[in-house]
Structure 1
Amino acid sequence: MKKISTLLVLLLFVAFCSFAQDSSMLWKISGNGLKQDSYLFGTIHMLCPDDFVIKQKNLDAFNSSKKIIFEVDLSKPENAKSLQAFAVSDPNFIKAFSADEIKRMDSVLRAQQLSITLLDYASPVAVISLFSMKGFDCPDPTKMKSYEVELAALANSQGKTIGELETPDFQFNLLKDLITPKLFMESVFQLDKYPALTAKMVEAYKTENLEELTKLLEDSAWMTVEQKDKLLIDRNLNWSNLIPEIIKDQSSFIAIGAGHLAGNKGLISLLRDKGFTVEAVK
């Protein structure tokens, strides 16, 4: 049975094809007429404080860049307001479940100190995000770190220009389309698997091991072809058309989920196909 219970994983750091010979989360873009180098940095969108670090090579690339580009610029006030609006509950969502399904899900959630009544107060997307946070099993979830938040703050302190590849509306509508009642229920019933899987993925990320991320995530049980197309391939193709214009005149540091880096339709390959030299920064 196909699942999206690891939707959190897909948005955090999915990777599907091996770049074992050059494992890195930081890649330099050069050549093809560029006057200066730019960088791709694969992020994990949240981490426990003890696991969070910005390595010196990433700081060096960041500091040398004029523009900082995110999937979405969370430092923009209008984007923050949009995120709040997207968290509003959808009264019709829970109506898709039978009374027995609601009872069984609530039993599982209560064992995790949660409740199905979360859907009365928050959107399915927001509830799935909460599931993902529990998967990290941080001592204090309120202190989780985000590369996007930390790098945006650093960019603002340095007066750097911040840009974005997508809008919050696009991302929310994409997730809303993918999180069907069936897939939400599957997520609930797999909550106990989140911590172990997340721990392995965090370790692979910290050691910059794209090959290990691939082994953890390439199993078709985690994602249908349609989900892969919508979450990764379609977005990668769009970004690969936007990035050449972004890096044409100014050095840019482009921070995107690490899962968008690798594979035949990953940004590394797509930018190489456009004539750029894309090299791992060790």
Structure 2
Amino acid sequence: MKSVISAILAICCAFPVWAETALWKVSKGDTHLYLGGTIHLLAPEDLPFPKAFDQAFESSETVVLETDMQKLLDPQTQLMLMSQLSYQDGRLLNQQISSQLYSELNQYLKDRQLMPNMFIGMKPAGVMLTMLAIEFQRLGISESGADTYYYKQAVATGRKVAGLESIEQHMSFIAELGEGNEERFLRQTLDDMAKTETMMRSMVRYWKTGDVAGLEREVVNDMKMNYPRVYRSLLVERNERWFPQIQTMLKSAEIELVLVGAAHLIGPDGILKMLRDQGYKIEQL
């Protein structure tokens, strides 16, 4: 079984089909938009972004992201998310998983010189995201991805900004990860922590080399087989909701730059296949 962490990380990044950049021009008739992707956080050495992203941004009138970035970056929203990532009904994490696994989670905290029992009130998704934040800080992975960067560029230049889903929808998809499958989810999460650097390097390499076949084989197909609930809720259902919005954009003369995650773009249920099936021209830039 491959890593559940690699599956989650792949949802936050996008990659091209055997090409140099993670960007496509999608067109039908006289209208078009740009469809690209981002890795949410990068190391300093991963920058700058490919020039094609800058060129697409300069050609676009609107930047479309997965959700409302202004709200997502708002401190009040971050507090709301933290609340959703914690138990609010009196449950504790050590009641949902085995004592052995809970002890190993505390050992992880001790190894990183952090307070034990820090995870006691967190849901599985809260534990996973906290552990990723710890590892990213340790590895110096702190630079904003293309979504945050081009959102700020859009605001600075007076471009319109839009989201494909509400901030409430966006947060609920993440907060529910691992619910009902706590032991297996957190066991895999803990086992994956030592591989975070290797996984992130692989993600960036896929981004730069366009190895979609590898990403689809190692992440998308594995998630579909071993985590069907995650695959359905995080990918398929959201793609189905987003696709009509993208089609509507393609009916207008306005040019959009749409930034979504890799696992949304590729594979049998990916947005690129959905577009091709509807007769849209897909041109990698």
Do both share a fold (TM > 0.5)? yes
Contact 2:42 2:145 (C-alpha < 8 Å) held by counterparts:
yes
- Superposition CA RMSD, Å: 2.9
Distance in structure 1 (CA, Å) of the matches to 2:105 and 2:54: 44
Q: CA deviation at 1:49?
A: 2.0
Aligned to 1:190, the other structure's residue is in SS state helix
Q: CA deviation at 1:124?
A: 4.1
Q: CA deviation at 1:254?
A: 0.1
Could you tell me which residue of structure 2 aligns to residue 49 of structure 1? 44
Structure 2 residue identity aligned to 1:172: M
Aligned to 2:70, the other structure's residue is in SS state coil
Structure 2 residue identity aligned to 1:230: S
Q: CA deviation at 1:127?
A: 3.4
Contact 1:44 1:147 (C-alpha < 8 Å) held by counterparts:
yes
1:13 aligns with 2:13: yes
Post-superposition CA distance 1:137-166 (Å, at most 9, x none): 66545x432222111110011111100011
Could you tell me which residue of structure 2 aligns to residue 29 of structure 1? 26
Distance in structure 1 (CA, Å) of the matches to 2:31 and 2:14: 29
Contact 1:109 1:116 (C-alpha < 8 Å) held by counterparts:
yes
After TM superposition, the structure 1 stretch with the greater mean CA deviation from structure 2, 145-154 or 93-102, is: 93-102
Cα separation, partners in 2 of 1:172 and 1:53, compared to 1, 3 Å? same
Contact 1:52 1:145 (C-alpha < 8 Å) held by counterparts:
no
Q: CA deviation at 1:78?
A: 8.4
Unaligned runs of 5+ in 1: none
Post-superposition CA distance 1:57-89 (Å, at most 9, x none): 111111111111000122237865223211133
Q: CA deviation at 1:219?
A: 5.6
Contact 1:109 1:188 (C-alpha < 8 Å) held by counterparts:
no
Q: CA deviation at 1:130?
A: 3.1
Aligned to 1:255, the other structure's residue is in SS state strand
Contact 2:139 2:197 (C-alpha < 8 Å) held by counterparts:
no
| Superposition TM-score, scaled by structure 2 size | 0.83
Could you tell me which residue of structure 2 aligns to residue 63 of structure 1? 58
Distance in structure 2 (CA, Å) of the matches to 1:11 and 1:86: 18
Contact 1:68 1:161 (C-alpha < 8 Å) held by counterparts:
yes
1:245 aligns with 2:248: yes
| Superposition TM-score, scaled by structure 1 size | 0.84
Contact 1:27 1:278 (C-alpha < 8 Å) held by counterparts:
yes
Structure 2 residue identity aligned to 1:237: E
Distance in structure 1 (CA, Å) of the matches to 2:262 and 2:164: 15
Could you tell me which residue of structure 2 aligns to residue 104 of structure 1? 104
Unaligned runs of 5+ in 2: none
Aligned to 1:86, which of 76, 81, 95?
Answer: 81
Identity %: 22
Aligned to 1:231, which of 234, 250, 261?
Answer: 234
